[in-house]
Amino acid sequence: MNIGFLITNWEEIDPNKSSTLRVVHECVLRKHKVFILYPQNLTVRNNIVHGFVKEVQLNEKISDSTITFYKKTIFKEKLTPLHAFDCIFIRKDPPIDSLILNFLDSIKSETLIINDIEGLRKANNKLYTTTFHDPNNTFLPITHVSKNKGYLQKVIDESKSDKMILKPLDGSGGRGVIVLEKNAPNNISSLLDFYINRGSEKTYVIIQDYIEGAEQGDIRVLMLNGVSIGAYRRVPAKNEVRANIHAGGTAQKYVLTEKQKHVLKKIGPKLVSDGLYFVGVDMIGEKILEINVCNPGGISNINRLNKVKLQKKVVDFIEEKVHAKKEKRVEMEYLLKRLSELRNT
């Protein structure tokens, strides 16, 4: 297979932690042709979408060590039509520039794209959880999204909780997540001003109920094709509210509870129907905080803590989906041919 990985920058990958690198390495070990594509290198040549891609060169035996593989990888750059790929795996931190998806629109019928373009349009920011039906907040915390300071101030004032979470709608990796203390009203006002007026135009922010136990960390769950394939606990650093690994959090082994599994089974079918095949779900207790669809991490931590290789499951899935897509295309071509023959008789 020809598999392209749309990422921000190969040079910025942390070989000790990167989930993307582990999937790339597994693809190479299986002798698939692997290409790295940067968003800024998408282009159109005579009305056909191309990319200046970096093809992984297989000049010697591939090391079983992901870190050694990363250090020794060399590339050959070439201009390639994107419809030549069997799969393009999008692994870029949010938000996703809508132009990237526009470039990929032209090949989505021919090429498997993970996650699906329409799914990414729906879910590449934190509003996606509003599409889950949970009127009684059984698995979603009470959440408000607005750029109206007066409204958000009213929400905070009327909350029965002493603490609430404030975060930007377009953030990732725990950036900008803070706890609001109701006993410091002057701070709340200035923080709302700061978050809403970050640019030339007002920006949306999220106010969310503080979930008891959050200080002990959250749970990152990786889901593949609507099913949980692994999880671990992220524990925040001292004097830190964010449990994200990028924010200094540490990883601990974790086994999902039956109640958590039940919640994940509720959302699994919707994720699949939206084409969101590989996602990260962040939970505290039985509450879902966020669905990460652009570049969810965690493979390396789950592997290390449980002595598994989740990247094998991910590549197995890619191979199965590509095979099914090809079979469907062959079947469709056959049916169209037969229809044409019948019309001409």
Q: What are phi and psi of 146, to 5 degrees?
A: -165, 165
Same domain, 178 and 236: no
* Four-residue CA torsion sign, 329, 333, 334, 338: positive
Please give the full DSSP string across 189-255, using - where no structure is assigned: HHHHHHHHTSSSS---EEEEEPPTTGGG-EEEEEEETTEEEEEEEEEPPTT-S---GGGT-EEEE--
DSSP-derived 3-state class of residue 78: strand
Same domain, 77 and 12: yes
Q: Please report which confidence band the pLDDT of residue 213 belongs to, taking 50, 70 and 90 as the band edges.
A: confident
What does the block give as tokens for 271?
């994720």
Q: What is the CATH number of the domain that holds 90?
A: 3.40.50.20
For residue 202, is pLDDT > 60? Answer: yes
**ω into 95 cis (within 30 of 0):** yes
What does the block give as tokens for 77?
């750059």
pLDDT of residue 94: 84
- Helices 19-29/310-343 angle, 10° precision: 60
Same domain, 97 and 172: no
Total Cβ atoms within 10 A of residue 330: 10
Burial 108-128 (b: 16+ CB within 10 A, else e): beebbbbbbbebbebbbbbeb
pLDDT of residue 315: 98
Q: Within a domain: residue 270?
A: yes
Q: What is the CATH number of the domain that holds 247?
A: 3.30.470.20
pLDDT per residue as tens digits for the range 246-276: 556 799 999 999 999 999 999 999 999 999 9
Q: Within a domain: residue 122?
A: no
Report the C-alpha gap between 196 and 184 in whole angstroms. Answer: 19
pLDDT of residue 310: 98
Q: Within a domain: residue 165?
A: yes
What does the block give as tokens for 275?
């084409």
pLDDT of residue 298: 96
Q: Within a domain: residue 6?
A: yes
Q: Please report which confidence band the pLDDT of residue 243 belongs to, taking 50, 70 and 90 as the band edges.
A: low
Same domain, 164 and 266: no
Cβ atoms 25, 66 nearer than 8 A: yes
Number of domains in the chain: 3
Which residues lie across from 25 on neighbouring strands? none
Same domain, 195 and 279: no
Report the C-alpha gap between 169 and 181 in whole angstroms. Answer: 20
**In the listed set 209, 228, 259, which residue is the last one of a domain according to the structure?**
209
What does the block give as tokens for 249?
């959090």
Same domain, 43 and 95: yes
Q: Within a domain: residue 345?
A: no
**In the listed set 209, 236, 268, which residue is the last one of a domain according to the structure?**
209
pLDDT of residue 332: 76
For residue 181, is pLDDT > 90? Answer: no
Q: What DSSP designation does 62 have?
A: P
pLDDT of residue 240: 61
Report the C-alpha gap between 241 and 255 in whole angstroms. Answer: 22
Q: Any idea which of 121-135, 165-179, 327-341 has the lowest mean pLDDT?
A: 327-341
Q: What is the mean pLDDT of the chain?
A: 91
Percent of the chain at pLDDT exceeding 70: 97
Q: What are phi and psi of 55, to 5 degrees?
A: -85, 130
If one compares 240 and 218, the residue with the highest pLDDT of the two is 218
Q: Within a domain: residue 248?
A: yes
pTM: 0.90
What does the block give as tokens for 336?
């169209």
Cβ atoms 33, 3 nearer than 8 A: yes
Same domain, 205 and 219: no
Same domain, 254 and 176: no
pLDDT of residue 143: 92
For residue 341, is pLDDT > 80? Answer: no
Q: Within a domain: residue 340?
A: no
Report the C-alpha gap between 232 and 249 in whole angstroms. Answer: 12
Range of the domain at 77: 2-114
pLDDT per residue as tens digits for the range 4-25: 999 999 999 999 999 999 999 9
Same domain, 110 and 9: yes
Q: Any idea which of 73-82, 109-118, 196-205 has the lowest mean pLDDT?
A: 196-205
pLDDT per residue as tens digits for the range 65-97: 999 999 999 999 999 999 999 999 999 988 889
Q: What is the CATH number of the domain that holds 201?
A: 3.30.1490.20
pLDDT per residue as tens digits for the range 30-61: 999 999 999 999 999 999 999 999 999 987 78
Length of the chain: 345
Same domain, 188 and 219: no
For residue 103, is pLDDT > 80? Answer: yes
DSSP-derived 3-state class of residue 278: strand
**ω into 41 cis (within 30 of 0):** no
pLDDT of residue 337: 77
Same domain, 7 and 106: yes
Report the C-alpha gap between 107 and 88 in whole angstroms. Answer: 10
Q: Within a domain: residue 333?
A: no
Q: Please report which confidence band the pLDDT of residue 118 belongs to, taking 50, 70 and 90 as the band edges.
A: very high
